[in-house]
């Protein structure tokens, strides 16, 4: 029995993670940088939507979205031209936008690109934003978080599907990442097998960005001693993701018991909760630090507050305040101020 060709393996993996029946009648914006991962994702989705064996024509649509940061001058414009030609070849509408071209940190660049995607989704009435993150991206993300002192949820890596944002303007949109089980080398081999070109970003070889250092220096060093480090870490991430998914109903119950109001965010002190709520502690472990921290993280997301600089140390400080320990006032990264009164905590972000 012969093995399926490399491109078919990639197609099958994407279809398994995200069956075409789930999006072919809806709108999908596909973020495409011109790199191998996003090119493979775009080609796969186009082929899946246009399958001749489908019982009926698709009622949905695909749109390609390319954000040109203009960081690399001619190379950036060549990437944009490559995506324009690819979209034309595949007969898929294209949306593009250019950034300022000035040097930015990773988070600012990501925010600019994210706002562009949000605008494109609104304009077209799309439901999904499809992004081509691979298994290697997931492993690099977890290593990055680990070195910043992440908690258990950070070790769960990138979610395959998640709301675009928790604020009302983005809650109807869903980010889909159906390539998290595919390795970077596997994706490139598949594209070569069908003579499909892609663009290589030379800036990925620079270690100016920490994620690039993880990719170019840390992981190769790890693999010199543990050749299967990437798939092994990926399996650990999958276990953490299953743990986090199982925890979601518990977090829902915690918030239902503890949160008084959303604006301003006000939470009951855990050391003041008693009576009927106390009898439900076995079902809702209010004083379990892991549950509380993941619930607090959700509050941050809903409020649109920055999570990047919130390490495990900061979450632990907030949990201690909820339990009646530590100071009565605290300022956290992102200018989030917490004040504790006899019955509750109030959290406000100062701009």
Give the annotated binding-site residues for ATP.
Answer: 33-38
Question: What CA–CA distance (Å, rounded) separates 285 from 292?
Answer: 9
CA distances from 16 to 59, 240, 329 (A): 21, 21, 49
DSSP three-state, residue 198: coil
Question: What CA–CA distance (Å, rounded) separates 338 from 335?
Answer: 10
DSSP 217: I
Q: Binding site membership: which residues?
A: 33-38
Q: Which two tokens stand for residue 255?
A: 């918030």
* Cβ atoms of residues 72 and 99 within 8 Å: no
* Cβ atoms of residues 204 and 192 within 8 Å: no
DSSP 272: G
Q: List own/partner pairs for 138-142 with CB under 8 A and 24 or more apart.
A: 138/180, 138/234, 138/237, 139/219, 139/230, 139/233, 139/234, 139/237, 140/211, 140/214, 140/215, 140/219, 141/211, 142/233, 142/237
Question: What CA–CA distance (Å, rounded) separates 349 from 75?
Answer: 40
Tokens 């796969």 correspond to 44
């Amino acid at each position: 029995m012969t093995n399926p060709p490399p491109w078919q393996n990639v197609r099958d993996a994407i279809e398994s993670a995200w069956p075409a029946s789930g999006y072919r009648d809806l709108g999908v914006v596909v973020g495409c940088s011109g790199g191998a991962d996003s090119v493979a994702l775009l080609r796969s989705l186009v082929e899946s939507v246009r399958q001749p064996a489908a019982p009926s024509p698709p009622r949905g649509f695909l749109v390609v979205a390319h954000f040109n940061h203009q960081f690399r001058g001619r190379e950036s414009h060549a990437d944009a031209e490559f995506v324009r030609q690819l979209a034309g070849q595949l007969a898929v509408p294209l949306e593009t936008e250019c950034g300022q071209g000035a040097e930015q940190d990773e988070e600012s660049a990501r925010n600019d690109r994210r706002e562009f995607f949000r605008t494109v989704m609104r304009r077209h009435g799309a439901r999904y934003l499809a992004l081509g993150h691979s298994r290697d991206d997931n492993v690099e993300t977890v290593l990055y978080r680990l070195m910043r002192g992440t908690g258990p949820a950070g070790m769960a890596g990138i979610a395959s599907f998640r709301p675009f944002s928790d604020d009302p303007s983005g809650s109807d949109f869903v980010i889909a990442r159906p390539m998290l089980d595919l390795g970077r080398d596997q994706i490139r081999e598949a594209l070569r097998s069908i003579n499909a070109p892609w663009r290589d970003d030379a800036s990925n070889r620079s270690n100016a960005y920490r994620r690039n250092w993880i990719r170019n220096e840390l992981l190769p060093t790890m693999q010199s001693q543990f050749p299967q480090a990437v798939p092994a870490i990926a399996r650990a991430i999958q276990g953490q993701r299953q743990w986090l998914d199982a925890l979601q109903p518990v977090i829902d119950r915690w918030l239902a018991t503890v949160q008084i109001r959303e604006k301003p965010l006000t939470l009951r002190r855990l050391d003041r909760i008693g009576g009927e709520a106390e009898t439900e502690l076995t079902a809702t472990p209010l004083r379990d630090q892991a549950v509380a921290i993941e619930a607090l993280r959700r509050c941050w997301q809903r409020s649109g507050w920055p999570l990047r600089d919130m390490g495990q140390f900061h979450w632990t400080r907030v949990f201690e305040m909820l339990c009646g320990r530590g100071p009565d006032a605290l300022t956290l990264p992102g200018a989030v101020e917490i004040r504790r009164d006899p019955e509750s905590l109030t959290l406000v972000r100062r701009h």
